[in-house]
Structure formats: C-alpha cells, structure tokens
Amino acid sequence: MKRFFFFIISYIKYFFSSKDEHSIHSPFVFNLYREIIIKKKHYYAFEDLNKIRHNLLSDQTVLKINDLGAGSKVNQSKERLVSDIVKNSGKSTKISELLFRLTNHFHPSILIDLGTSVGLTTLYLSKASQQSIVYSFEGCHDTVEYAKKLFKTAQADNVLTIEGNIDNTLPAQIEKITQIDLAYFDANHTYEATKRYFEWCIKKIHNDTLFIFDDIHWSPGMEKAWKEIIEDNRTVVTIDLFEVGLVFFRREQPKQHFILKL
Ligand SMILES: C[S@@+](CC[C@H](N)C(=O)[O-])C[C@H]1O[C@@H](n2cnc3c(N)ncnc32)[C@H](O)[C@@H]1O
C-alpha cells in the first residue's frame, strides 16, 4: 500500500513536470524524441512479437521461482504461471516497442540485458538488431530454461543467456567484453543493486553507449539511484520517461536532464 502511494505521487510529479518536444533545444534529443521515442513506427517484427506475447499471456506452464531481486510487484509466491509473470512482471507492449525502436536506431554490437525473465523483452531487443550479440542475464533456473526454449523457437540466435546471480555473472562477463553499446537494466530493483550494475557497466562504455534503466520510480530506493545517476558527472544527457530512464554519455553535449512525456 505504501509503495502504491509512493508510485502514484511520483507519477503525479512526473505528469506535471514532463514536457514535450517544444521544450527541447538540443537537436540530438529533439530528433530522438520526435523520430524514435514518440513516433509509433510499425515494424513487421511487431506482428510476430505480438503473437508470442499473446501466447505467453495464456501459457499455464508453472515455473519454480527463485527471485534474487526485489521481487514481483504483485505475486511473490514460489511457483508462478508464465501467464502471470508476463502480465505482472513483464513490460507493456508500449515499452517493449520503445525498446525495439531504440535498439533498432542505435544498432548496438554488444547489448547487455539484465533480467531475462521468460524472455519476452529480450526478444524485442534481439529482433530489433539481429547483428547484435545480446548477453541476457537471469538468476532463476526454471525461468531461464523456459526463455532458452522461447529463443530457440523464435530463432533468436543472437541471444546468449547467462545463468546465475548477476552480482557474480555480470562483473565476470564485463571482464571478457571490449565494450557495451547498449545496456538494459531490469533485474534487481534496489538502490544498491542498481548502483552496482551502473558501476560495473560504466567501465565498458564509449561516447555512444546508451543505458536504459527500468522502473526508475518503482520505490524510494530506485528513485534515489536514478537521481544519483542523473547527477553523476560521467553521465551527460539523461531522459526521464517515467517507466524508463535513458542515459547518454555523449561528450559533445552539455550535461542536461529532460523529463519528457511518453
Ligand atoms: C522484472 S523481471 C524482468 C522482466 C523482463 N525484462 C521482461 O520485461 O520480461 C526481473 C528479473 O530479474 C531477475 N533477477 C533479479 N535479481 C537478479 C539477480 N541478482 N541475479 C539474476 N537475476 C536476477 C528475476 O529473476 C526476474 O526474472
């Protein structure tokens, strides 16, 4: 209940402070906002992805859940139906398609996806840029096994799943890769974990890397982490879209924060 009120108050604050394109003076942010963030361009891949979402929403497979994170907002029982996971812990079509458009626009070579779950959002990332390698991290064994089957059926051959606690698997994987072009953070929604993931991933950024943080207003801890990321002198352009926050490191830009309507 407390979290629900926190969420509502955060949304009201966002609603009254968010702006549209008329407030944006940066050409980079203006174009990104108009052409990618709010332009609901249709891609053929959306038809297949929507069918997969539809099937998952009625999938009665029971998975044994070992949640190493802050947990689901709604159902924290140890066994869950795939349909329930997709409905309560998965991303909406709107956010999934936004992730697709951003990935398709930036064409990352190396993409880090924290929190595979049953794999639906990972599929949007994979299909948006089939030349990318998507390193997808998940700690729950049953869930990751389910996701692997889904990737096989959907021919998402560019996804490499990494099973285990991200606190162990992420630093180890980061040592092995040369750079991160895009990272999507949707695993353990706590202040401490978000800050740890940020610090590990920032070691392999370059000027055009994009970080996407999910659920930045989910709890006071997540808001605190997001605020510190905005204020961090290594981040340059940050964009609050309420459900997700975007972080750019483009040194040619002035440091600036935007709160934009989605
Ligand atoms: C919100 S769900 C991810 C949803 C997914 N991105 C989607 O949109 O369908 C978070 C996932 O992160 C996983 N997770 C949380 N903390 C973790 C950790 N420390 N190590 C590995 N996986 C973790 C959970 O098991 C859960 O499946």
- Residue-wise burial string across 50-63, b where 16 or more C-beta atoms lie within 10 A, e elsewhere: eebbeebeebeeeb
User: Could you give the domains of the chain?
Assistant: 2-49+90-259 (3.40.50.150)
Q: Report the atom number in ligand 1 closest to the C-alpha of 187.
A: 12
pTM for this prediction: 0.95
Determine the length of the chain. 262
Contact 234, 202 (CB under 8 A): yes
pLDDT digits (tens), the chain, 262 positions: 788 889 899 999 999 999 999 999 999 999 999 999 999 999 999 999 999 999 999 999 999 998 887 755 544 558 999 999 999 999 999 999 999 999 999 999 999 999 999 999 999 999 999 999 999 999 999 999 999 999 999 999 999 999 999 999 999 999 999 999 999 999 999 999 999 999 999 999 999 999 999 999 999 999 999 999 999 999 999 999 999 999 999 999 999 999 999 9
Q: How far apart (Å, rounded) are the C-alpha atoms in residues 156 and 153?
A: 8
| Atom 8 of ligand 1, nearest CA residue | 90
Q: Report the atom number in ligand 1 closest to the C-alpha of 184.
A: 6
Mutational test site, ligand 1, from 184, 186, 194, 196, max ligand atoms within 8 Å of CB: 186
- Please tell me whether residue 248 adopts helix, strand or coil conformation: strand
Mutational test site, ligand 1, from 116, 150, 151, max ligand atoms within 8 Å of CB: 116
Tokens standing for 169?
Answer: 């698997």
Q: How far apart (Å, rounded) are the C-alpha atoms in residues 55 and 185?
A: 25
Residues in contact with ligand 1 (CB, 6 Å cut-off): 67-69, 89-91, 115, 117, 120-121, 137-140, 143, 165-167, 186-188
3-state helix, strand, coil in the chain (%, to 5): 45, 20, 35
Give the start-end residues of each E strand in 168-249: 182-185, 210-214, 237-240, 244-248
Per-residue three-class SS string for 127-159:
HHCCCCEEEEEECCHHHHHHHHHHHHHCCCCCE
168 CA → ligand 1 middle, Å: 14
